[in-house]
Structure 1
Amino acid sequence: MLTQVSITRIFERKKNYDLRRLLAGSEKILDRLLNLVESDPGFLLGAVRCLPLPASLRDALGTLLQKAITPNLVFSILVARSLLVTAVQERAVIEECRLEPTDLHLLLNLIGASSAFQAGEIWTPICLPRFNPDGYFYAYISYLDAECTVCLVLLSTDKESFYAVSDCKKRVEEAMRTQGSLQVLSGGLQSPSYGVGQVGVPDLRHFLYKPLDIPENYRQLPQFTSPELEGPYCSEEEQHRLFDLYHYLHSRIHSTSRPLRLIYHVAEKETLLAWVTSKFELYTCFSPLVTKAGAINVLTKLLRWIKKEEDRLFIRYPPKYSTTPNPGKSAKGGRPDGAENGFFAGL
């Protein structure tokens, strides 16, 4: 199991050690991760994308996860095709820290890169470096549907709790089938996001929106929303070109030497506007002839639409649970890394 402590120990013993030995077998996972870094806005914004759902359904699913608990369970995460459905965190852990988007991206990339997770119930150690680079959890990973689109991830601090955690999964799956929510999720994945046309404003082609006015006491995952890419961004080449423009605007907004709060940028094939306030971070793409005044007028309408739809687009009030014994210290302190051969090699 690779953690910061184990890697540091290796190089203290042998400074010219070839780390590739420990990464053997993880090439597919690393390649997929590198591709996502270049194409997934979540890495750029430091946030996760939620599956748009009625608030009542998301709350009901969160309640199911709250009830299906066992001692030393720390996180319960429900995802559908790499989109977050809901996440429940142990109350004692929330007091110390929260699950970071980077850790969730790493976890979802691991699941998506290997077909081994589609074979059944998987129990594997995993390090979440932003949460604790020197420790690791035991991750229970299982798909809930035959199409392998809806996945439940349960993170525990107890190596011996596989059967107890597996029972939690069975309770969640049974309750979801009884409620019909599993069928709703699977059906909703036929069109997992939404089109920019639903906003109802002309000239708007695409946008990235990240809310920033989140009460600290909720300790929730930073989230963002964006519509499906449509014409003229249907080809991979055009999508990469658009994301390159977003990366450029992001670098200007977050420049260490001269940060900006508002950027109006006229590109060759489109016009873009980036705007960051204390409440949100927003990147928008328009047709090429939109003026600055016209773009700001569109933004006003877009922000009204997002406000109206925020309960469907985001997890606004993340659910929590309490298990015994208290997992806070053991989760943050982490388990000692007893193996130094990595766990990727077995996938």
Structure 2
Amino acid sequence: MSNNSDEKNPKNGLTSSLDGGAQNGDPSVDNGDIMEIPVEPSSMDISGEGAKMFVTDAEEGEVPDGPQVSKLKFVCRDGSQGQVKVEKEDKGKVQESSETPKESGDNVDRKAVVTNEQDLVKALDELSVATSGSEDFKEAVTSNFRRQSMAHPEMSDEDFVTSSEWKNVKRHIFVLSEAGKPIYSRFGNEEQLATLFGLMQALVSFVQENKDMIRSVKVGQTNIVFLAKTPLILVCVSRLDECVAQTQNQLMYFYNQIVSILTSKQLFAIFEKRKNYDLRRLLSGSERLLDNLGNLVENDPSFVLGAVKCLPLTSSVRETISQTIIQNLSKTKNVVFAILIANNQLVSLVRMKKCFMHPMDLHIILNLIDSSESFKTAESWTPLCLPRFDSSGFVHAHVSYLADDCQACLVLLAVDRDSFFALSEAKQKIVERLRRHNCLEAINASMSNCWPTMSYVNVQEVRHFIYKSRSIAQFITPALDIPYVLPGSDAANNLSIAGNIQGHNVSPELQRIYSTYFKMHSRLHSHSRPLKLMYRVDDTENWIGWLTSSFELYVAFEPLVTKSAAIAAVNKLLKWVKKEEDRIFIMNSPTF
């Protein structure tokens, strides 16, 4: 398969010229940062004064520049070559590894010993062999294979990690303590993986002792990515051709999911008092949240984009919903957020003044709702930590679905643990008023509709796209249409986000498209060589990735489209987004 791309670097200009340029009718490339695309300014700027409801990483002062990275190359015993990437840590930030005496009654951890470079290469070899399967069985175990079904207590630990069932999983997630204590494995049983957990802990400790932080290991087609977040170590072993930065971001979601259950304050206190503590005792019953998160981060572009998808509604219906929530909660003390969710999409978000919801926190809430069928049967009251809002404490969530005939979920977050009955009463009043104004019917209609489709967008050259508004951290992407699906076929697995899909089984075509989008996202946001525009050609589609200060756009075109036609199609697409923005985005941020 051919794979060519035209990429533009904001510092160095185009790395390969656009064939023909103005001679073939394509717009010329100026001396600025991006290729000129003739778009009216209004169609590029969809932000408004009242649009800010999410606080982003950039607004919190995070610097986009990446850490200094060095590499160590090695050769495995099977002849394959690999390399280790390590990050130079700032002085004072390296966590020194230390052995902690085992307390009586604790299980003895099996640890690998890494004291020199030869031991490191051997450990990397063992880890890659233990988690990589034969290419002939790549499809043997799918991403929705339940971790519980892989628990075989009758097997020895060595037999388990060498079984084809285990090794043919394409993507593993591991969480362990800095002392090497197993906490979570997406597949299999943590007890049978104790040796493997000890090996991962030894790798991290060895690199830390050299004042570095291990970032990733590449062995053949396998990527092993590490995220050390005191007091935890998170590891992803993947054969899905994912970039390191995106994988580390996914691991950060797993860390935040654990914090959402315990709070960072409790997490630090536990391991400060007892470094060898078995955290599974406190996480028991919450594995479903981590399992479901593992499915979502693979199949939902929300997590890569750092944005949310809104349920399409007319502005009048959305305004009625928001005002109804405000009227019934404005007099209720200590309510910080009210969130209405349908099909993993945001319907409305009302917040207390000066309080902002980070997209990562909203994703944690979406995962909580998506993981728990029990919320559909009764009102629930549960403590929840929002790591980006306040990682040290809980808010209390009143969670309930609106009605039996409207499966939208209302989440009311308060800081007062005694607010359940007041919020329950307010919820009933909200539902009554929404029903009187026919808002429930409007929500149901939008939930059952696959709008927008590309036939509705009506830009002939465009097969699919993702558009993200950076100012409001929201995105829009259509369901798959012809030629990816046959007319009249069941589109259940072709919808735009994983939360809409039965069992999270995304269609192969949608997975392939998202995989290309994610690779383009990685290039545009590269720490070492960021781009603002790239044009990619392969056997099945042509692609454009475009990053500006106000939006991100990823587009799949038919393979025979010319560059000039692609640019014109992007122009039409941006005009369509501007025309429909009140329907596809929440353009204001109502407050109590």
TM-score (norm 1): 0.86
1:205/1:287 contact within 8 Å kept: yes
Structure 1 counterpart SS, 2:319: helix
Match of 1:129 in 2: 387
Matches within 5 A, 1:210-229: 210-212=468-470, 214=471, 222-229=473-480
Alignment of 1:268-307 (within 5 A): 268-307=539-578
Cα distance, 1:192 vs structure 2: 4.7
Amino acid at match of 1:163: F
Whole-Å separation in 2 of the counterparts to 1:148 and 1:2: 32
Could you tell me which amino acid in structure 2 is paired with residue 232 of structure 1?
Y
Question: Equivalent residue for 1:101?
Answer: 359
SS at match of 2:317: helix
Tell which deviates more after alignment, 302-311 or 14-23.
Answer: 14-23
User: What residue is the counterpart of 1:73 in the other structure?
Assistant: 335
1:1-347 matches, cutoff 5 A: 2-69=262-329, 70-91=332-353, 93-94=354-355, 98-147=356-405, 149-212=407-470, 214=471, 222-230=473-481, 231-232=483-484, 234=494, 236-321=507-592
Greater mean deviation of Cα atoms: 187-196 or 56-65 = 187-196
CA distance in 1, matches of 2:284, 2:406: 26
Provide the secondary structure at the position in 1 that maps to 2:346: strand
Provide Cα deviations, 1:71-99, integer angstroms capped at 9, x if missing partner: 111101111111111110011x33xxx10
**Is 2:406–2:440's contact at 8 Å kept on the other side of the alignment?**
no
In 1, are the aligned partners of 2:406 and 2:444 still within 8 Å (CA)?
no
Contact 1:51 1:193 in 2 (8 A): no
Cα distance between partner residues in 1 of 2:450 and 2:318: 14
2:311 and 2:446 in contact (8 A); partners too? no
Give how far 1:211 is off: 1.4
Once residues 571 and 279 of structure 2 are traced to their aligned partners in structure 1, the CA distance between those partners, rounded to angstroms, is 51
Q: Which structure 1 segments of 5+ residues have no match?
A: 215-220, 322-347
Q: Which has the higher contact order (CA 8 A, sep 6+)?
A: 1
User: Cα gap change, 1:105/1:282 in structure 2, threshold over 3 Å: closer, same or farther?
Assistant: same
Alignment partners' CA distance in 2, 1:184 and 1:148 = 10
SS in 1 for 2:480: coil
Distance in 1, matches of 2:528 and 2:432, equals 54
Offset at 1:147?
A: 4.7
User: Is the Cα contact below 8 Å between 2:341 and 2:409 reproduced in 1?
Assistant: yes
Instruction: Give the residue type in structure 1 aligned to 2:478.
Output: P
1:241 is displaced (CA, Å) by 1.4
- RMSD of equivalent CA atoms: 1.4
* Code of the aligned partner of 1:224: F
Checking the alignment, whether the CA contact within 8 Å between 1:33 and 1:109 is kept in structure 2 is: yes
- 1:240-259 residue CA offsets vs partner (Å, 9 max, x unmatched): 11111111000000000000
SS in 2 for 1:144: strand
Residues in 1 aligned to 2:348 and 2:566: alpha-carbon distance in whole angstroms: 33
SS of equivalent to 2:323: helix
For the Cα contact (< 8 Å) 2:541–2:558, is it kept in 1? Answer: yes
Equivalent pair of 1:137/1:155 in contact (CA under 8 Å): yes
% identical equivalent positions? 45
SS state of the match for residue 22, structure 1?
helix
Q: Please give the alpha-carbon distance, in whole angstroms, between the structure 1 residues aligned to 2:274 and 2:562.
A: 60
TM-score (norm: length of structure 2): 0.51
Aligned-partner residue type, residue 48 of structure 1: V
Counterpart-to-counterpart distance in 2, 1:147 and 1:241: 35
CA distance in 2 between counterparts of 1:242 and 1:300 reads: 21
Counterpart amino acid of 1:30?
Answer: L
The residue identity in structure 2 corresponding to 1:265 is R
1:118·1:148 contact (CA, 8 Å) conserved in 2?
no
Q: Does the 8 Å CA contact 1:144/1:150 hold for their aligned counterparts?
A: yes
By how many angstroms is 1:136 displaced? 1.3
The CA deviation at 1:105 is: 1.0
1:283 is paired with a residue whose SS is strand
Does the CA contact (< 8 Å) of 2:398 and 2:420 recur in 1?
yes
Structure 1 residue ranges (4+ consecutive) displaced by more than 3 angstroms after TM superposition: none
> Higher helix fraction: Structure 1 or Structure 2?
1
Where does structure 2 lack aligned partners over 5 or more consecutive residues?
1-260, 486-493, 495-505
C-alpha distance in 1 between matches for 2:515 and 2:365: 25
**Counterpart position of 2:66:** none
Match of 2:102 in 1: none
Distance 2:439 2:431 in 1: 10
- The count of aligned residue pairs is 310
Q: For 2:350, what is the secondary structure of its paired residue?
A: strand
Contact 1:58-1:85 within 8 A present in 2 as well: yes
**Which AA in structure 2 matches 1:196?**
M
Q: Distance in 1 between matches of 2:533 and 2:568?
A: 14
- 1:38 positional shift: 1.1
